[in-house]
Amino acid sequence: MEVYVLRLGHRIGRDHRVSTHVALTARAFGAKGIYFTKEDKNLFMSVERVVKTWGGEFFIKTADWKRLLGEFDGLRVHLTMYGIPLPEKIEEIRKARKVLVVVGAEKVPREVYELCDLNISIGTQPHSEVSALAIFLDRVIGQTFTLTFDNAKLKIIPSEKGKKVLKLGD
């Protein structure tokens, strides 16, 4: 399964930290890439540095959200606390070859609810889009603890105490 993320409504300056965490979570939990509705050069460079150091083929780029949702040739899933609980639709989602997951930053336009195939909730209380994305990707892809990247320059060695990092390349 290929999973992509659309970060809808990134507000430069205000959302930098949370949007960075959305992108890093997407990468670490197995998504192939993330699209933003606005380019934020500092955020993009920060994520690209992580990919270069920690590996993977993850991409980050801008896209017109209406065009992307309209042309995406897979299942379009919007994460919203107003949607159907994930457990009720998880098998349908897992059957998809490609998935585009939409996570908002600001008020999501009504059109997103209509353009997406599924509006899915992780919970029905206010919570972070970072946590919603992490739970979604973990439940759907399920590689959280086994995902590795061949082209990494660094690798964490699990340790009960302290930090152990193995240098793999230049």
Give the model confidence (pLDDT) of 36-67 as tens digits: 998 899 999 999 999 999 999 999 999 999 99
Place of tokens 């209406």: 66
CATH classification at residue 113: 3.40.1280.10
Q: How many domains does the chain have?
A: 1
- The residue ranking higher by pLDDT, 150 or 142, is 142
**133: which 2 tokens?**
């994305």
Mean pLDDT to the nearest integer, 66-92: 97
Name the residue range of residue 44's domain: 2-167
Q: How far from chain centre, in Å, is Cα 169?
A: 27
This model's pTM is above 0.75: yes
**21: which 2 tokens?**
């965490």
For the chain, counts of helices (H) and of strands (E): 6, 8
Residue 10 pLDDT > 80, yes or no? no
The H or E element that residue 7 is part of is strand 2-8
CA distance 58 to 28: 9
Classify 55 in phi/psi space as left (phi over 0), alpha (psi -120 to 50) or beta: left
Give the residue ranges of DSSP H helices in 38-109: 41-54, 65-71, 86-94
The H or E element that residue 162 is part of is none
pLDDT band at 170 (very low <50, low <70, confident <90, very high): low
pLDDT reported for residue 114: 96
Residue 35 pLDDT > 90, yes or no? yes
Instruction: Map residue 77 onto helix, strand or coil.
Output: strand
